[in-house]
């Protein structure tokens, strides 16, 4: 049971949720947040966070058995998770000196948030491996790499797809964690439990479900706010970062998997839907309406995207063009095969 728990709810899927006093949440054990005052409202520009109406709403099943009272936040009881190196195809917006003829002040780019509508699936995973679909917002190089990450994941053969966040300020070495496992992220909503399962998920050739994710910087406070389906979830305080304290210089959208090669060959852990991008809508996983927040707080379509696909025979990525969907792409694949040894 988490410190400050005033109520516990057990979901039908087995998830156990502690409703924790908002002022006693793990964030305030961080040495830089001992005297932090919770920001319950943000001053971010509303046009930077708008998203389309979506009837395919995701749900967390613990709500069937109760609600967390006002003044508390729902925290999933979960063991600590370790970050691992992964194989990933991503679409990246990163401005470098050799990409643009521009004044030095523009080198590296300045981004104040990102968004995407992410298709939700439950890919097969094996032997403690993970499969992710996520947004990365980052800055810094080497040991100074800072990131905020959010999306969905499937872990170690679970038939559950989970909402997750992650952060680090030293390239995953000694700081940061998933969700609220360690001090850092400040949650404000009573409605969403980070790390808990979401439902329903998309099925091959059937109805498709999505999550709309936005990260946006509140310049007045320095905090980075997270929204899901236009609902404010909470924020990463700017003070816990170094190179991300001001702005981001890199944004990535895409998928990742862990590959332990436990059978002596590439893993069979799937990415996305487990099908290749050329199978298209209803069969392959997609990102649509990807964007970034500019210095004025406005959402923009990214330009000069770079594509990184580490193992195309295993997992691949292709852009898609659908009217009204902005910049979109399909990604993923089945992993191990004759073409992916």
What is the pTM (predicted TM-score) of this model?
Answer: 0.91
Instruction: Mark whether 149 is an active-site residue.
Output: yes
pLDDT values of the chain reduced to their tens digit, one per residue, 341 residues: 999 999 999 999 999 999 999 999 999 999 999 989 999 988 775 444 444 555 566 899 999 999 999 999 999 997 644 444 445 566 665 433 222 221 112 235 899 999 999 999 999 999 889 999 999 999 999 999 999 999 999 998 889 999 999 999 999 999 999 999 999 999 999 999 999 999 999 999 999 999 999 999 999 999 999 999 889 999 999 999 999 999 999 999 999 998 888 888 899 999 999 999 999 999 999 999 999 999 999 999 888 888 888 899 999 999 998 778 889 999 999 999 999 98
Kindly tell me the burial class for residue 64, based on how many C-beta atoms sit within 10 Å of its own C-beta (0-12, 13-18, 19 or more). Answer: exposed
Q: Contact, 330 vs 317, CB < 8 A?
A: yes
Catalytic residue among 149, 207, 210, 278: 149
Q: Contact, 302 vs 319, CB < 8 A?
A: no
Catalytic residue among 129, 210, 250, 256: 256
Q: How many CA atoms lie within 13 A of 31 on its CB side?
A: 1
Question: Which residues are CB-neighbours of 318 under 8 A, at least 6 positions away?
Answer: 277, 278, 329, 330, 331
């Amino acid at each position: 049971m988490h410190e400050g728990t005033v109520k516990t709810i057990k979901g039908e899927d087995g998830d156990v949720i502690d409703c924790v006093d908002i002022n006693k949440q793990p964030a305030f054990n961080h040495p830089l947040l001992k005297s932090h005052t919770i920001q319950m409202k943000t001053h971010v520009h509303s046009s930077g966070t708008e998203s389309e109406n979506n009837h395919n709403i995701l749900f967390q099943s613990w709500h069937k058995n109760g609600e967390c009272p006002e003044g508390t936040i729902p925290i999933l009881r979960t063991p600590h998770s370790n970050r691992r190196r992964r194989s990933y195809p991503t679409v990246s917006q990163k401005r470098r000196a050799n990409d643009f003829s521009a004044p030095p002040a523009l080198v590296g780019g300045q981004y104040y948030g990102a968004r995407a509508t992410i298709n939700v699936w439950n890919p097969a995973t094996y032997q403690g491996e993970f499969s992710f679909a996520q947004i990365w917002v980052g800055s810094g190089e080497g040991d100074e790499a800072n990131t905020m990450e959010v999306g969905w994941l499937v872990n170690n053969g679970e038939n559950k797809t989970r909402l997750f966040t992650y952060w680090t300020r030293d390239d995953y070495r000694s700081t940061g964690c998933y969700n609220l496992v360690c001090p850092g992220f400040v949650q404000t909503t009573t409605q969403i439990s980070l790390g808990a399962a979401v439902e329903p998920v998309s099925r091959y050739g059937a109805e498709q479900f999505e999550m709309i994710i936005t990260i946006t910087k509140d310049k007045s406070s320095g905090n980075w706010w997270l929204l899901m389906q236009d609902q404010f979830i909470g924020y990463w305080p700017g003070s816990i970062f170094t190179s991300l304290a001001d702005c981001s210089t890199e944004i990535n959208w895409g998928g990742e998997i862990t590959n332990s090669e436990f059978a002596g060959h590439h893993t069979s852990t799937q990415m996305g839907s487990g099908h290749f991008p050329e199978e298209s809508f209803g069969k392959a996983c997609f990102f649509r309406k990807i964007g970034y927040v500019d210095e004025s707080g406005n959402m923009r379509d990214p330009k000069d995207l770079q594509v990184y696909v580490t193992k195309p025979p295993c997992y691949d990525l292709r852009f898609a063009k659908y009217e009204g969907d902005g910049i979109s792409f399909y990604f993923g694949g089945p992993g191990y095969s004759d073409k992916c040894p």
